[in-house]
Copies of this chain bind each other. A is one copy, B any other.
């Protein structure tokens, strides 16, 4: 449950701050915090606590919480790990409501540290103290001039709309020192013993100073809380841009199923971010440009078409290349737009998108840029206009004057049109201040680095169309299947398919035969040709024990195959329990795809789908989404695989029943949601997607119930 904002305001906007460990010695942590609070202009009461010193940095000091002239709303604990709980106990006894703990030596440092952190958590739960840290730099409320921060406050840090919330202290430093954004809050979350990113997001969703949030995330401990916070952010119209690190860590392969293992943990994070409208980025530069654009793009653009105006052909070509890689669509311009542009740039044969203004754009900036922007703004295929330049800090004075004239014209034109106008320098590494000055009071986002800027445009245009997905109808789990899964014993293919069929997923017609004459009779009922497969709870990998025969055309073949399969199984696995042979209809003419349900912690169950067969792993053509989703979600999932082209009728082959496959995936995802606490994985490999209108059919399936050892964590 989200904390009420009033509780967090004791931390983020306290009326008084006690500094435990305040020190009269300069250049110590306990002195710096006091000095910083005063210098930063904190208007509340500063209450240094020191066992003996009469004053700290010119302020009267108090020996204990008990001696404070008024209860401190918040305390900064500038003392080592082993002194923290005692100080908090004392504070709590005297009305303390919030605290910042800088000290390391908690969960990040072995078993002793973890025990210490648990103690801290218990104390806070008992006393109701909201706590930032431990193992953090603390926090800054720039607007209210609250600095509970152990690192140096950047001299140039100014009040503004961006909140920075970071698990990493150095990322706080990195983002607050770019010098590009006005900051509302800077929060170093640290070990998140009590408050995590979601709690701060909840608060920021309602905070009037904050317009957008930049997150640096190492792990999400409570995805449900984060999802709730994201919904609040979305409703408040505040974009959240996140850099998640730790993607390359190999560990935590959580699923036993072959298909699930293809989708690494980062795929699950991406699916989660997509679902909850988090703008995910890959490095600080993408983060910075996305934040710049998020802060400036007040009204979400209506479409995804971008028009680019460049000052040279080479630049235009570079931007076209990078736009393609960044998935930015540069639409063909309407004939009327081209005609209007031709009056502005009469000498040119090529009027296109990107638009190359050549040196005429420099020498006749007013006409060329103003005219071009107005013409492009009227083009229905254009939703955003990007002006590109090369205005790095080393530009000559003459060049800077020329480019500044262009910037002024662009800033003026942007005020007069409804569609957003953005500006970016082709290189990162800084912008010439004289050139970009005209943008200062405009709505024009000013970015740098063509690649990162185009990625920001791509992501913000996608985000503008974000809506939280509809929750599909929940599937009510059947008690009998819950009991079966809870038993934990292995499923055979037949039992796995029975589980699927019971929940509305189509599977092959099949009969278990315990002797060869039963097999022949079953085959006759099913219709030739048939497939025979060994049925044993102990043999999940049937091919490896020569347990599969396909395309059996008649009774003779079935009788022989029965004997061979049973014989081979006894030979390969003398102790396996053999229940008989499954006689199965032979399905041909379908497109073979895979679908898998697997554990994707910390997000619960996920669905992986993609191309089937031995090429699955080779080509890595799978996509992942989290459970549950509806048919529309399933179509979106499939569209992210190249196998989707197979379903469309690739190279003259008949199109597959994409609707049926989507419905199957959606249903499987609802199974995942309903039985997720008891399931480890479900592996459908392959699913035959028949020609349009004829359905999709599970040819082989394996249900793996959750291992008892992991049943402790929900």
Contacts and interface: CB of A to CB of B under 8 A. Distances in A.
A615 interface: yes
B315 A429 contact: no
A242 to B, nearest CB: 13
Given A154-B395, A396-B151, A285 B429 contact: yes
Contacts of A651: 614, 617
A180 B171 CA distance: 25
A314 B390 contact: no
B314 A167 contact: yes
Nearest to A173: B390
Contacts of A171: 312, 314-315, 318, 390
B282 A322 contact: yes
Given A247-B321, A283-B449, A429-B285, A156 B618 contact: no
Contact of A429 (B110, B170, B178, B618): B178
Nearest to A348: B109
A645 interface: yes
A218 B151 CA distance: 48
A642 B618 contact: yes
A311 interface: yes
Given A317-B245, A321-B248, A349 B615 contact: no
Contacts of A486: none
Interface in A287-338: 288, 310-315, 317-318, 320-325
A450 interface: yes
A80 interface: no
A471 B535 CA distance: 59
A169, A320, A390, A620: most-surrounded residue (chain B CB, <10 A): A390
Given A170-B314, A394-B157, A284 B248 contact: no
A140 to B, nearest CB: 11
Nearest to A108: B313
A655 interface: no
Interface in A8-45: none
A153, A248, A310: most-surrounded residue (chain B CB, <10 A): A248
A110 B245 CA distance: 52
B170 A311 contact: yes
Interface in A97-111: 104, 108-110
Contact of A615 (B153, B394, B619): B619
Interface string A113-145: 000000000000000000000000000000000
Nearest to A448: B429
Interface string A157-180: 100000000111111011011111
B429 A180 contact: yes
Contact of A245 (B153, B321, B428, B619): B321
B392 A178 contact: yes
A288 B611 CA distance: 40
A290 to B, nearest CB: 13
A108 B356 CA distance: 13
A155 interface: yes
A577 interface: no
A396 B153 contact: yes
Contacts of A645: 618
Contact of A283 (B246, B311, B322, B432): B322
Contact of A398 (B152, B249, B317, B451): B152
Nearest to A645: B618
B317 A246 contact: yes
A364 interface: no
A339 B391 CA distance: 49
A241 interface: no
A403 to B, nearest CB: 10
Contacts of A174: 315, 390, 392, 426-427
Nearest to A152: B396
Contact of A650 (B288, B358, B392, B618): B618
Interface in A400-454: 426-430, 432, 448-452
A541 to B, nearest CB: 11
A360 B478 CA distance: 57
B395 A284 contact: no
Interface string A177-219: 1111000000000000000000000000000000000001010
A646 interface: yes
A621 interface: yes
A468 interface: no
B283 A396 contact: no
A60 interface: no
A54 interface: no
Interface in A66-92: none
A447 to B, nearest CB: 10
A216 B349 CA distance: 24
A551 to B, nearest CB: 13
Nearest to A653: B614
Contact of A110 (B311, B349, B391, B394): B349
Contacts of A110: 349
Contacts of A245: 314, 317-318, 321
A577 B533 CA distance: 49
A247, A643, A646: most-surrounded residue (chain B CB, <10 A): A247
A109 to B, nearest CB: 7
B429 A428 contact: yes
A450 B288 CA distance: 13
A397 interface: yes
Contacts of A399: 151-152, 154, 173, 177
Q: Which 4 A/B pairs are nearest by Cβ-Cβ distance? A: A168-B314, A152-B396, A179-B394, A152-B398
19 contacts: A104-B358, A104-B359, A151-B399, A169-B312, A170-B311, A171-B314, A173-B399, A177-B391, A177-B393, A178-B392, A179-B394, A248-B320, A284-B426, A288-B429, A614-B650, A614-B653, A617-B650, A619-B621, A620-B642
Interface of A: 104, 108-110, 151-157, 166-171, 173-174, 176-180, 216, 218, 243, 245-249, 282-285, 288, 310-315, 317-318, 320-325, 349, 358-359, 390-399, 426-430, 432, 448-452, 611, 614-615, 617-621, 642-643, 645-646, 650-651, 653
Given A174-B390, A178-B394, A619-B642, 7 more contacts: A109-B349, A154-B399, A216-B314, A248-B323, A284-B450, A285-B428, A428-B449
